[in-house]
Structure 1
Amino acid sequence: MFIKLLAFSIFISVNIYAEKISYNGYRLIRITPTTENHIQLLDSWEDNPNFDVWNRIKTVGEIVDVVLSPSAFEKYEPLFKLANLKYTILNENIQNILDAEESSMRRNAQNRNIVGKYSRYPEIVNFINNIVFDNPDIASSYSAGNAKTYENRELKVLVLKTSTSVKSVWLDCGIHAREWVSVATCVYFIDRLIKDFRNGDQMATNLLGYYEFHILPIVNPDGYEYSHSTSRLWRKNRRPNSGSSCVGTDLNRNYGYQWMVAGASNNPCSDTFAGPSADSEVETKAVEKAINDKLGNWDAFITIHSYGNFWMVPWGWGKPQIPDYNDLYAISKIGADALKSVYGTKYSIGSPANLLYAAAGGSFDWTYGIAKIKYSIALELRPGQGEADYTFGFVLPEDRVPSVGEETYIGLKTMIDAIRNLK
């Protein structure tokens, strides 16, 4: 086992940095819409593949961060001026932060322990396999949906449970390819929960005594690998679209509940392309099958994204308040307060449609609306607006991973235990 792992690590360290698309000269700009016409204009541009919105378009007075290539900046700058749409340049060349991220990863490449790192898909599969091998009393794994992605990768789910586990909790990460800190946080959660359980931590013991955890660290392995090997800011999966040269579907717009109602695109070139139909993607179907296979047994569904520091409850598709809103808000506050106690990181609580923007076809709307999992929760991890790291956006430096993992683990563990105590 050790020899195989060592050889694998050497292979990864040699091959982890394939030639990538350069973002040299790409600017990160901050736009401040001051009229409804500005919002409509931004909405009309959002589908354009050369207008990469990092934090979505909300309402008048709310900032919108956008990445533009040199040619795109030449195109849009006159339009900004014509519309009197104010903007500032936050970063003249985002390749600099990508280079810094890559440099930090190179320095850590020889470290075989992937916890606290931005690891590749094969490393994470190997990590899960080793956990199952080393912890046969509590760990097992399966392939969600017994299916393979377009590029022939499996969706590897780790199960952690004891002989007394009666109910289930689902945790997934990495539905959007470029959100690397999400994937790293799932890995951290796995490692820490096992260590706490082995060390006799009371809360971890109680949790594994009652719940079986199903943890899928990478919902979108094809897109995730592509974001490592080729295009750092890739978001969608990698399945080609019929009749278009543009590749990929936004998996968090593809779930078959209120599909295409809001915040999703029918343009295959858009980052928010919802797919040719609801539930069209292998990854979507695989997660739905895994949930349906234990329907009625789930106490919580948690999906982790980045970025913005948001602790969210349904709905994503629109602003109507769910019947269980007060219960979900209260349980979320317990988690967010516990997270804040670690490093002081503040999270806003509420629904995506009210905190951010309406976006239909999301996984936690489906689990709440169709699978009837009451405690369906979505997190947007660091960095949050007002923090020193905010302009890193999706390219959060790797050395922040352990801190993000720790605070998120404490927050989620505390929230899940509060759900358990409701029984």
Structure 2
Amino acid sequence: MASIPQGSSAQPSAISTGNNTIPLIIITILFFMWGLLTSMNDVLIPHLKSVYTLSYTQAMLVQFCFFGAYFVISLPAGALIKKLGYQNGAVAGLIIAASGCALFYPAATSGYALFLFALFVLASGITILQVAANPYVTVLGPARTASSRLTLTQAFNSLGTTIAPWLGGILILGGAVLTADQLALLPAAEVAAYKAKEAATVQGPYLALAAALLGLALFFAFAKLPKIQHDDEPSISGDMASNKESALSHTHLVLGAIGIFLYVGAEVAIGSLLINFFGEENIAGLKEADAAHLVSYYWGGAMIGRFIGFAVMRYVSPGKTLAFNCACAVLLVLTATFTDGKLAMWAIIAVGLFNSIMFPTIFSMALNNLGKFTGQGSGFLCMAIVGGAIVPLIQGTLADTFGLQISFLLPAACYLYIMYFGIKYAGMYKTAPSSEPAHL
């Protein structure tokens, strides 16, 4: 990205590419942390479903409250970051996320509703981190390698999502789990004591996460990061220069926001139901703790794919790469829906590999050449992450109505739209990504 004149509006300008590696590494820590926190929900959902005897729809309220925060908080987060700056905004986000984790302690003795509120607070902090960090990464180098650069940082986000199910499986799902039939044979007092004990297993892990987040907040408060400059006028380079009245006047931003909505919805819906899916007798019949370890493969595939995508998109159009990955994801989801046993199990796990580059690619393509509306556009895209609240809730209802396996047709439909977006904007960058120096 060429340097943009300095000014005072919401458009971040490209930062000199000479010494961006250390700032990128520091920002990547945030991506890792919110990946870990987000993926812990995949363990919480089956755990709370069992403790509170919930339907799939009720259990998906975990994701509804978590990702609903993106819709509610994204625009206020943008205003907060504009006032505090990107670095101080990240500190505020970390402190709020820590508060959400701390609320898990009283929630364990207060019921499902307080868990949902705690998740909303936690996600509010993560939303602030996302609104600050994603556009920050896109300006740490040239525009044509923004997708590649954001994909690299998202790879470490996937490292967090890979570790979380494995860790949560040990710390939260590691105890002896009684089936509904076994609980039915116990006296009411013993059932209540068992459920209280199971609910309390989240207290230690989430207090530890709260302490880690506060430690990161302290670190970021004193870290030396380059300041993002802003410009008053939109960029005039390229066919899609910012000469319109608002961010939503740009068709590629609107279509990209829909893509973010559907992608996050599909990825979260699949991840949320994997433990239950692996527990189905016609799939693998696994216990929750064993199934949780396999969820790490789903998120680990995304991590591997993002490292691959970081390299590939320096030479291949981001749009074409996105369309290819979506086509593969559709085929894998259909395989998981209409087959049984290990084939279905490994097909749905493999979707993670092709999810890998979708979010950062859609995000950076949607923000391309928005000029002074980049900050506003980033806020809209982060609001679109509310798809992680809506799509899983719909899939939960489909699972309750038609069966868990057939409900996976919903994510397949989401990937079809994203494939359309990739094909439509395959030629967005006039020259190959590799024409720019390979800066991080």
Q: TM-score range by the shorter chain?
A: under 0.3
Structure with the largest fraction of helix? 2
TM-score by length of 1: 0.25
Q: Normalised by the size of structure 2, how large is the TM-score?
A: 0.24
